[in-house]
Structure 1
Amino acid sequence: MNAPRHTFDTTTAGRPRHEGVNVRTWAGFRQYLCLLEEAVLDHFHRSGPGARRLYEEFGHGLDIVESTGTYSAPLLLDETTRTRLTATEPVPRQGLRLKARMTINAPEQARPVFRGTARVALVADRDRTNRPPLPPELQPLPPELRPLAVDSVDAVAHPALPAGSPPTPLRLPSPTAPEPVLPDPGSNALLWRRRVPYFHCHYDRRMQHAGYVRILEDVVDRYLAARGIAIGDHLATRGLVPVVHRTRIRMLADAFMEERLHTVFAVTDIIRGTLFDARMDCYVRRGDALVPTATATITHGYAHTTGERTGAPAELDEPIVKALLGEPR
């Protein structure tokens, strides 16, 4: 087997998926992150053992444990993207950080549409790797891959969050106590509870990064509807649709299939009258605590979908601002 090499650049071509093109022919932010994930998988496939071999031969799942993204231009149906990943040296317990630059192959010149990062770790399948000796079908990880290996998602040592501290466990009086009311009374936050479905998981049971991307997309839709500014209504009556400018998604601990996921989402700031910041925190119950499993931030604006201003940013008027902040209108 060739020694894995992760300090070189790779470029991966792709196209947005049809199911994620929901307004006109514009791709939503999830499609950019799907293309980022495909580029990460391609990088590992070219570097040495890909995701399948890492799991089947070495007992470790390839996980994106953090992503960041700045969305600088629309990505349209049938456009071909080129995602260039630049890797840095792996840091033990911090995994491998890959810088991403996504462009469109426009006729005149490459047009940048996305910049971001993906942090990747190899998470052990503890049912198979934590009982030495290794089962006969598994091999020890090659030395070059060991800096990427962790026993669980909560063992990843993330650098400090620039947008604030990660959430801490919420303690309950006892393991049998009822769950507390989330969020705090008087908060403008929305609480959404659901079981972790199998299609948000991989490697048999663990919630994956792509699942949290879908949760973030879903909870934004639910929040706007609960505040009386549902996306469909504003699209039909005002020709406005939310567009994403930035995201950061960080996994903090494992969440497992069919656990109950508590998702708290709130708008935290209005920026220059055209953008709004929001935060998502996800928890699962373990004994007498609600344990944070992921945190995310997202920056949204609105764009016009009709007339001469199609695609142009829209101002956040007073009714929208009050709705976003949960104030009486």
Structure 2
Amino acid sequence: MTSAVIETVAAPDRATTETTLRPRFEGTNICTWIGFKHVNYLVEEAVLDWLRQNGWPSRRLFEEAGVGVDLVGITTRILHALHIDDEVRFAVTVAVGDSGLTAKVAGKVDRDGHEVKAVTSTVTVQLRAEDRHGDGVDDVPAFLRPAVVARLEPTVPVPPNVPADALGDTLVTGRGGVSTAVDPRLRSGDRPAVVWSWRIPYFYCHHTVRMQMSGFLRQMEEVVDLFLEERGASIRTLLDEQNWIPVVPSSTIELTGEALMEEELVTVFEVVHDFKGVTYTSSMTCYVERDGELVPVAVGEITHGYAVIDDRRDWSLVDFDERLLTAVRG
């Protein structure tokens, strides 16, 4: 669905806001560089601060207006690597449309005395009526009312449900299982893929029971790790043997439904294509198992390249070797 700006709604006090943020220490996985998940966390916080600066932070919307803030789409390009202790200056411009709030986000950082654009992102936000903790929506301000939904609504095409027997023995309870034997009904092609199922923990959720966008970002990060391990190119192996690390120039996740605490989450991760042995793009489709069917709740794509660590400050991109080409091409 394409968002059309609704001109009749009263404009917010600040259609564009600015906020300065620093990456969290947790995101410095390799040397001092910040991984894609924590870059997206910064984007999320910048969007939440747009609401805060316009007088309606997420807490007030939940407690007083009876709606939960849900990021249902996030597409991010990383143009320059971020480091721990960077001060990233974000500008967030929001339009209200028929599919929710659409935020255009740009983050800039200083490099060698010059300001460079490091991150760009488009984020879709919906305000989900909280029927679990009250009688319904109360006083949502006029400029946010078009974003209110009874249930999270997809803004992209939704994959079809799949019979749960497509998982074979992969669907298990608890921490779950991983398999490279992916049923054709769960695939879009014949490139390398894995399927992973596990139980959604409470700490991936917000507004009491719904899995939130940060949970899906963590899911995307971990399924990449599992995929590379299953394909004989684990991150630790390439780091130890070649000083290589994966780098992410772009990622996108769109929610197509609601995933709930303690449901079995099934994630299919599949290579879509590789570009001249320099990058590869993979798709992620997440399902929950309900009444004998796999119901899609999120779709996404992520692009990876590889870099060699030059020193404690710098890295440089490399072409894939035979091991990586075999892993992503089969």
TM-score category (smaller protein): 0.7 to 0.9
**In 1, distance between residues paired with 2:13 and 2:195?**
40
1:55 to 48, 58, 62: 62
2:127 to 106, 115, 122: 122
- C-alpha displacement at 1:6, in angstroms? 6.8
Alignment of structure 1 residues 1-329 onto 2, 5 Å = 5=12, 8-88=15-95, 90-92=96-98, 94-106=99-111, 108-128=113-133, 131=135, 134=136, 139-153=138-152, 155-156=153-154, 158=155, 160=156, 165-171=157-163, 178=165, 180-181=167-168, 183-184=182-183, 188-306=192-310, 310-325=314-329, 327=330
- Aligned partner of 1:175 in structure 2 is none
- C-alpha displacement at 1:308, in angstroms? 11
- C-alpha displacement at 1:310, in angstroms? 4.4
Letter of the 2:84 partner, please give it: L
**TM-score, normalised via structure 2 length:** 0.87
SS in 2 for 1:27: coil
Q: 1:40 to 1:309 in 2, by over 3 A?
A: closer
Q: 1:167 to 1:183 in 2, by over 3 A?
A: farther
1:87-128 Cα distance to aligned partner (Å, 9 max, x none): 12x112x00101111111345221211111111110111224
Letter of the 2:86 partner, please give it: E
**In 2, distance between residues paired with 1:316 and 1:280?**
22
- C-alpha displacement at 1:179, in angstroms? 5.7
CA contact (8 A) 1:6 1:87 kept: no
SS in 1 for 2:102: strand
CA contact (8 A) 1:282 1:294 kept: yes
CA contact (8 A) 2:269 2:282 kept: yes
CA contact (8 A) 2:280 2:303 kept: yes
Letter of the 1:149 partner, please give it: V
1:178-222 Cα distance to aligned partner (Å, 9 max, x none): 564372267621011111111110011100000000000000011
- C-alpha displacement at 1:279, in angstroms? 0.5
Q: 1:31 to 1:243 in 2, by over 3 A?
A: same
Q: Number of paired residues?
A: 304
Stretches of structure 1 that go unaligned for 5 or more consecutive residues are 173-177
- C-alpha displacement at 1:31, in angstroms? 1.3
CA contact (8 A) 1:5 1:48 kept: no
Identity of aligned residues (%): 35
**TM-score, normalised via structure 1 length:** 0.87
Report the aligned-residue RMSD: 2.1
Q: 1:201 to 1:14 in 2, by over 3 A?
A: same
1:30-54 Cα distance to aligned partner (Å, 9 max, x none): 1110100110111000112110010
**In 2, distance between residues paired with 1:145 and 1:308?**
46
CA contact (8 A) 2:254 2:298 kept: yes
Q: 1:187 to 1:5 in 2, by over 3 A?
A: same
